[in-house]
Structure 1
Amino acid sequence: MRSELQPRKKLKAEVQIWLENVERVNVEVQDLDDRIGESSALTRGFHTEDVSKSIKEVEELITQQGRFHGGLVVDNPQWIGQVLSTTNISGEAVKACVEEIWQCLMDDGVKKIGVWGMGGVGKTSIMKFINNQLLKERGKFDTVIWITVSNETSIAKLQKDVASKIGVEFSGDEDETTRAGMLFENLSQKGRFVMILDDLWAKVSLERIGIPELSNGGKLVLTTRKDDVCRQMGCREIKVKPLMEEEAWKLFLEKAGCDNLNIQGVEPIARSIAKRCAGLPLGIITLASCMKGIYDISEWRNALKELRLRKKSVNGFEDEVFEQLQFSYDRLKNPKLQDCFLSCALYPEDWKIEERSLIQLWIAEGLVEEMDSMRAEFDNGRAIMNRLISNCLLEVFTEEEHARTVKMHDLLRDMALRIAKSRFFVKAGTMLEKAPDVQEWSMNLEKVSLMRNRRLYIPLEMSPP
């Protein structure tokens, strides 16, 4: 019976009745056995009639079992879910993340799960994998609802999306409260459901949408780039981290193919290209796919050079990846907050930036609101820093009691430099010995960074155009 009871299936009515009778007779037989055991040798004969009755019922149930023609189950019209296309899960850290999410789903004590991490790190791919596994799970959940949340999603849009997944039809005349009531009634009847909200950007009210209290086996899983969304929604937080360097290289090999990497001199170039993806599966898969089937080493050298120069000609790689990454930047909305982020690109690649020094730079440039004390301005700068970290635009590298350093992912730095292309001129940490030609400077230039070039000599008479 267990082998037949798969998702999308339920027991036939006659099978369910038979099982209930089996359970009833089993209890009666156990009760009879207890009563016989407590009887004396003289009174045990009084139970003969009850024993005969129980034997007859058991024989009848055994006989009935053979009458279930055409199997024990039928299609379950209440079962809801959709298998989603996805890619293979790569990396030990990612697999551990998947396992942690799964354990939370199986734990009745965890109602809400928040999966967060920077854009392109693989949150959606992980949850697609989880979605498909849930559809294979036997009997744990009857309904799996996947909702893709856009950045401008409203309560009305979410209600419409949920309704389309669970078969609720709105006439178009209902107000928000009525729609919520219709969804609430339908979902309450389903009991064991998992709702996945992919790419959530801000806290939403489950009550306003119509999602019932998750007390009867229901679960909510959301993905977001902001850990404070997880906290505000009361979720168990699970962070998806970028791939380690060797894991990233393994994924690059898988997508690019190994044949072309056997060419002498290609592998070190390919490793440099893979490293620039900063462990982001989206970047690795996209760029490796672009380089698949390339056997000319000059094309590999050119691709690496173009990436370093942040040109767009590598088969649209930057456009696809940066579209994901820049979304977090755009959502900051406040121009001063955006400039605080962009200023981090003035430091050399992979540079560990001291938080205090960075905040002092922001204050000096007027990016932090002027207040009545230096302490208040620093606290405001610290709040900005936390906002950038929360949005996965910066990551904490080291943290001590009174100090911490932060770091910017390579792809995020490339994105920032691309955004500020006409405003920034950055050659930090590039081993320059000669000052850049002023013809390289744009007319709208605001900031120049030549730091960490130990042998660089800058003439006193040099000035921007």
Structure 2
Amino acid sequence: MMHAEERLLDLVGAMEDLKAMRNRVLREIELQEEKGKQRTQKVQAWLDKVVDKDQCTNQLVIDFSRCCVTGCCSINIYSRLNASRKATKLKKEIDELMKEKNQVSVLAKRGPSNPIIDMPTSTTNVGIMIGSNLGIVRDCLADKTFVIIGIYGMGGVGKTTLLKEIKRSIGEWNMGFDYVIYVRASHEHHVEDFRDCIAEQLSLCEPSIETIFKFLKYKNLLLLLDDLWEELDITILGIPDPHDNSVITNLYKHKVVFTTRSKQVCDSMRADKKIKLKCLDQDEGWQLFKENIVMNLEDAPSIEEVAREVANLCGGLPLALIMVGRAMSNQTWLAKWNLMLDQLQGRLFSSLCESMLLYLRSSYDSLAHETLQQCFLCFCLWPKRKLILIEDLIKCWLGFGLIYYFDSISEAYMHGCYIIKVLEEASLVITHDNRTVVEVHEVIHDMAQWIASRAEGDHKAWFVKQNIIFEQLSSEEMETWIQLERVSIINCDMNSLPELQCQCPSLLSLSIQHNQRLEKSTEDLS
């Protein structure tokens, strides 16, 4: 029992070594698959086992960290002993997997002589909506008038899933493409990396513009670009311009399908067809959620009831449904489900929620100006799942001084409408009713609160806290509270605000939500 921490550290170290081995195997497989080979079932089974051991290790570390803060009671001692035994068992299984890898000699076998690189069939339900969009893309690819197709939507809505489904299905559609190239972009893409990726998939020795262009000029090509953040001139990659009306391009098909979070990127890329992905409806969301659950929920009606609430709180966002579903995959304890429900209802942030929000935050980070970021953070001052009048939102921005340099109210209003358009194009907000009200997806709203509650530097004037106990604030925390400009207090069980030692001269906004026992506030603020 006394060596539980040491055994856990040994387990984590062994798991890191196993993952490093897995990464080497994956790199070797990818190189061979790009040459037209296919991975064997044996090596795929080994990779699946590595993923399973990684999940078990992470869960054990989380469980152990929780039992360490429950005190030195008998239950805690038993938990530590149990964790120690599990760590020893897992370490042994990981060592066996590393030995098993040495017996996996053939990493890939020769596939059919087809230049299109096949992808494994997705086991994830892409939903009726994405299935419908797959048909739209198929029709566009068959139509000569559509050569560049842009797929856009908020982070985690399923754009990458759709693009992979396109790549998987393209061989079945028999559209005559000689080559299908898949390139994963990034927030800060590098043209040289793109060319290297393209040259590898084409088995070219030199990744230069001239070499790639010469090879593809007389070929039928489909280029799939995933996760574009800004305009990309594909001709500098060596890809023939699909909009070129020369005789050569009329004889050969050169088409591009890309995904992005920004509608503006679709415009700058001159997309002939723009497809916006929306979140799944409640029934589709529940089906996707269940597909990531191992246990049979029908055998546990009490858990199924809470599980439906958990799924609904994911707001139809596939990323959230999949991540939360997998985290609760084999959880048979009702209390764990209620804990997850609390996390998603915003009463606390878990490591799972934070990892998801960190992924989504890139949309916020991509906003060109700090003022736009501050305007977005204002949404956390409104309750979740509430339609906001655009007029009220613009008044808020005016009050905070986020809209300035205007000669009239109408000019300020137009500026506010422009900000909303920028946020909408970044897939951070949704407008309704002829652009009179605006809505923020629940998970994006959580992201705004999460960013604001951790704000530093230029954003340190934000204060968004949940379940705060003012009586337990230190003198340093109280001093910080006094200096704040924008404050949001949520779910705090208190009768009144704290008795402050001085006034709050910088306070611009105080938002208090779900604090039913609060009786007074103005006199506390002086």
Output the TM-score relative to the length of structure 1: 0.73
Counterpart CA distance in 2 for 1:320 and 1:397 is 30
In the alignment, what sits opposite 2:217? 188
Residue 217 (structure 1) aligned to one of 243, 253, 258: 253
Deviation by residue 1:37-60 (Cα, 9 ceiling, x = unmatched): xxxxxxxxxxxxxxxxxxxxxxxx
How far the C-alpha of 1:180 sits from its partner, in A, is 2.3
| Paired residue type of 1:181 | E
Could you say if the C-alpha distance between residues 295 and 228 of structure 1 is closer, same or farther in structure 2, counting changes exceeding 3 Å?
same
How far the C-alpha of 1:369 sits from its partner, in A, is 3.2
In the alignment, what sits opposite 1:122? 158
Could you say if the C-alpha distance between residues 93 and 451 of structure 1 is closer, same or farther in structure 2, counting changes exceeding 3 Å?
same
**8 Å CA contact retained: 2:126, 2:162:** no
| Paired residue type of 1:415 | M
Could you say if the C-alpha distance between residues 302 and 433 of structure 1 is closer, same or farther in structure 2, counting changes exceeding 3 Å?
closer
**8 Å CA contact retained: 2:367, 2:373:** yes
In the alignment, what sits opposite 1:280? 317
Counterpart CA distance in 1 for 2:175 and 2:445 is 46
Could you say if the C-alpha distance between residues 76 and 349 of structure 1 is closer, same or farther in structure 2, counting changes exceeding 3 Å?
closer
Could you say if the C-alpha distance between residues 280 and 412 of structure 1 is closer, same or farther in structure 2, counting changes exceeding 3 Å?
same
Structure 2: state its 5+ residue gaps.
Answer: 1-35, 37-110, 243-248, 455-461, 467-487
How far the C-alpha of 1:293 sits from its partner, in A, is 1.6
Alignment root-mean-square deviation, CA? 3.0
SS at match of 2:377: helix
Q: Within 5 Å, which residues of 2 pair with 1:404-419? A: 404-419=436-451
In the alignment, what sits opposite 2:338? 301
Higher RCO (Cα < 8 Å, 6 or more apart) = 1
Could you say if the C-alpha distance between residues 452 and 397 of structure 1 is closer, same or farther in structure 2, counting changes exceeding 3 Å?
farther
Residue 153 (structure 1) aligned to one of 186, 189, 197: 189
How far the C-alpha of 1:88 sits from its partner, in A, is 2.6
Runs of 4+ in 1 over 4 A off after TM superposition: 75-78, 426-437, 443-447, 451-456
Q: Within 5 Å, which residues of 2 pair with 1:182-331? A: 182-190=211-219, 192-214=220-242, 215=249, 216-235=252-271, 236-257=273-294, 259-260=296-297, 262-309=299-346, 311-313=348-350, 316-331=351-366
Could you say if the C-alpha distance between residues 78 and 309 of structure 1 is closer, same or farther in structure 2, counting changes exceeding 3 Å?
closer
In the alignment, what sits opposite 2:405? 370
| Paired residue type of 1:132 | R
Counterpart CA distance in 2 for 1:80 and 1:300 is 44
| Paired residue type of 2:262 | K
**8 Å CA contact retained: 1:425, 1:449:** no
SS at match of 1:450: strand
How far the C-alpha of 1:460 sits from its partner, in A, is 3.4
SS at match of 2:380: helix
How far the C-alpha of 1:129 sits from its partner, in A, is 1.0
Could you say if the C-alpha distance between residues 392 and 262 of structure 1 is closer, same or farther in structure 2, counting changes exceeding 3 Å?
same
Could you say if the C-alpha distance between residues 363 and 438 of structure 1 is closer, same or farther in structure 2, counting changes exceeding 3 Å?
same
How far the C-alpha of 1:213 sits from its partner, in A, is 2.5
How far the C-alpha of 1:323 sits from its partner, in A, is 2.5
How far the C-alpha of 1:451 sits from its partner, in A, is 5.7
Counterpart CA distance in 1 for 2:513 and 2:343 is 23
How far the C-alpha of 1:404 sits from its partner, in A, is 1.6
In the alignment, what sits opposite 1:338? 373
**Greater Rg over alpha carbons, structure:** 1
SS at match of 1:136: helix
**8 Å CA contact retained: 1:424, 1:446:** no
**8 Å CA contact retained: 1:273, 1:304:** yes
In the alignment, what sits opposite 2:49? none
Residue 79 (structure 1) aligned to one of 115, 124, 127: 115
Matched length: 376
Q: Within 5 Å, which residues of 2 pair with 1:63-142? A: 79-83=115-119, 86-138=122-174, 140-142=176-178
Identity percentage over the alignment? 28
SS at match of 1:189: coil
Counterpart CA distance in 1 for 2:299 and 2:515 is 35
| Paired residue type of 1:133 | S
**8 Å CA contact retained: 2:125, 2:291:** no
Q: Does 1:395 align with 2:423?
A: no
Counterpart CA distance in 2 for 1:450 and 1:268 is 30
Deviation by residue 1:408-461 (Cα, 9 ceiling, x = unmatched): 111111111111115233688979896565499xx9987531268799632432
**8 Å CA contact retained: 2:400, 2:508:** no
Counterpart CA distance in 1 for 2:202 and 2:404 is 48
How far the C-alpha of 1:258 sits from its partner, in A, is 5.2
Counterpart CA distance in 1 for 2:521 and 2:172 is 69
Counterpart CA distance in 2 for 1:350 and 1:92 is 24
**8 Å CA contact retained: 1:425, 1:448:** no
Counterpart CA distance in 1 for 2:366 and 2:493 is 39
How far the C-alpha of 1:231 sits from its partner, in A, is 1.5
| Paired residue type of 1:115 | I
Deviation by residue 1:279-309 (Cα, 9 ceiling, x = unmatched): 1111101101111221221111122113334
Counterpart CA distance in 2 for 1:139 and 1:389 is 35
Could you say if the C-alpha distance between residues 317 and 86 of structure 1 is closer, same or farther in structure 2, counting changes exceeding 3 Å?
farther
Could you say if the C-alpha distance between residues 121 and 376 of structure 1 is closer, same or farther in structure 2, counting changes exceeding 3 Å?
same
Counterpart CA distance in 2 for 1:297 and 1:445 is 42
| Paired residue type of 1:144 | V
SS at match of 2:278: coil
**8 Å CA contact retained: 1:278, 1:409:** yes
SS at match of 2:433: strand
SS at match of 2:375: helix
